[in-house]
Chains A and B, each alone.
Chain A
């Protein structure tokens, strides 16, 4: 009886927190279908804003910039970060500690300080542009890659690599066949983390971007004073729905695979 009441309280509490987290999303999704520019009056259902969103070159341009920036900065950061993690792991203790402290600085530092420091430095030798934003994003993305790859390297079994070399594998071949597969999980989660951080960043982009360069975040911030265009609600709803479907599919597929493996295991046991 007590157990049931506690279960019930747990469920209610979870529901409350989830409601808190989703309340603004519900507002945005509802507004994206609202046939009225007002934020509080419901003027009937429409898909008008979705149409307008695809027609707006400004929004499409910002969307493109956001994606190009996220994928290229995450990609470059992953390459540099994985190499760095492998190298740092082999460093002597003192250098290892020093490099890891330097790696933690951009993560501990406030975004506003990182953004301003980079901006002050960039303006000394190049005009602020897409390029400066890209450099800034790579800078704050690398630590996320290193910190998610490092634990995997520590767990890695070096003897397997050495065995492969003893058996005649070249260093590149052994790296691709032995090291990389052991690190795949860490590399992937580092890449995804970098991607997310880059897409969600506003502050650092805001300070390092040149005039005319806009990601979705900086564009929305610019519109705050004038009032947000309802097209933005449509776009964010669409992005949200896409991510939802992708995450749901990956969850579903990995669940299916697990079940299949279980079946196979059971069969082989029989």
Chain B
């Protein structure tokens, strides 16, 4: 059997060439100055007031987005289960379909909906209500990221919940558990693996995205992603940009390792 390992050699080479070495390169940029001397300054600029504000804002967006996605997903998944829509695949089909339209265009469509003279305010005006000014606020960015990443939460949670045996839920009810108890004691723990992979798939991109905040934040509200992008495209300070990237990477990896470790320990709902 062990003879078969040679099949993975091209991939191992690929990992070394395009995963390991690029990481070494970005770390080298992060820890050196423009002329090659060792420095910690690039990493520590994250505590610079502007950068730190962006980091806190990114965290707020990411945590908020993940929570909202969880809160929206579970009722949806339970509704799908209740209406027995899972088996036909039609419901999943409907949820996956929007992902096939270019995501930047879809985010831009939200800009048109939310802008001061946009579609939402047009409708509100017709209904005789006061117009809202959502455009270029944190709320707009939040709507954008939730919209963008909600399917990534729905799919794994759906897969996990669909696998739960109906008998277990009925047994819980027979033994006197109400709907809420059944949810927290049976459905939530049993769907924990799906929930955790959903959290990873939503948290990381919503924390590091720069397109959504670019389009819906009007360029004023910056996430860490925006700052890093500008270091590379506008300021051309690669060392500083690399430093911030490395900080972001380590931060994300540690928080995700922490999230997934709870899965191994088998504790329930201690993710936060």
Which A residues have a C-beta under 8 Å from some C-beta of B? 6-7, 9-11, 13-14, 17-18, 20-25, 27-28, 31, 39-40, 80-81, 83-92, 95, 99, 102-103, 105-106, 108-114, 116-121, 124, 135-136, 138-139, 142, 146, 158, 196, 200, 202-203, 207, 216-217, 220-221, 224, 228, 232-233, 236, 239-240, 243-244, 247, 251
In the complex, chain A residues whose CB is within 8 Å of the CB of B78? 10
- Whether the pair B22, A117 counts as a contact (CB closer than 8 A) is yes
Q: How far is the CA of A243 from the CA of B80 in the complex (A)?
A: 23
* Contact assessment for A14 and B80 in the assembled complex, using a CB-CB cutoff below 8 Å: yes
> Is B82's beta carbon under 8 Å from chain A?
yes
Measured CB to CB, the nearest residue on chain A to B200 is A108
Residues in chain B near residue A244, CB distance under 8 A? 97
How many of chain B's residues have a CB under 8 angstroms from any CB in A?
84
Contact B19 A105 (CB under 8 A): yes
**Closest chain B residue to A10 by CB distance?**
B79
Question: Which residues of the other chain, A, contact B228 by a CB distance below 8 angstroms?
Answer: 112, 116
- Chain B: which residue is nearest A14 at the CB level? B79
- Could you write out 10 A-B pairs with CB less than 8 Å apart? A10-B79, A14-B79, A18-B94, A21-B151, A88-B11, A89-B4, A99-B12, A110-B208, A112-B225, A220-B108
Interface residue ranges, B against A (CB under 8 Å): 1-12, 14-15, 18-23, 25-26, 29, 72, 75-76, 78-80, 82-83, 85, 89-91, 93-95, 97-110, 112-113, 117-119, 122, 147, 150-151, 200, 204-205, 207-208, 210-211, 214-215, 225, 228-229, 232, 238, 241-242, 245-246, 248-249, 252-253, 256
B245 near A142 with CB under 8 A, answer no
Q: Is the CB of A111 within 8 A of B208?
A: yes
A-side contacts of B15, CB under 8 Å: 99, 102-103
Q: Is B113 within 8 A of A27, CB to CB?
A: yes
Task: For A17, give its contact among B11, B72, B108, B225 (CB under 8 Å).
Answer: B72
Prevailing SS type, chain B contact patch: helix
Could you tell me if A90 and B232 are in contact, using CB atoms closer than 8 angstroms?
A: no
Complex Cα spacing A247 to B103, Å? 19
Closest CB of chain B to A153's CB: distance in Å?
10
Instruction: Tell me the smallest distance from the CB of A88 to a CB of chain B, in Å.
Output: 5
Choose one: B26, B95, B105; the contact of A21 (CB below 8 Å).
B95
Q: With contacts A84-B10, A99-B12, A116-B26 known, is A247 near B97, CB below 8 A?
A: yes
Task: List chain B residues, Cβ under 8 A from A239.
Answer: 100-102
A270 to B62, CA, bound (A): 59
> In the complex, given contacts A13-B76, A207-B232, what are 18 additional A-B residue pairs having Cβ atoms less than 8 angstroms apart?
A10-B78, A10-B82, A21-B94, A84-B11, A86-B4, A87-B9, A90-B5, A90-B7, A95-B5, A105-B23, A109-B249, A113-B246, A113-B248, A113-B249, A116-B245, A120-B29, A221-B104, A233-B105
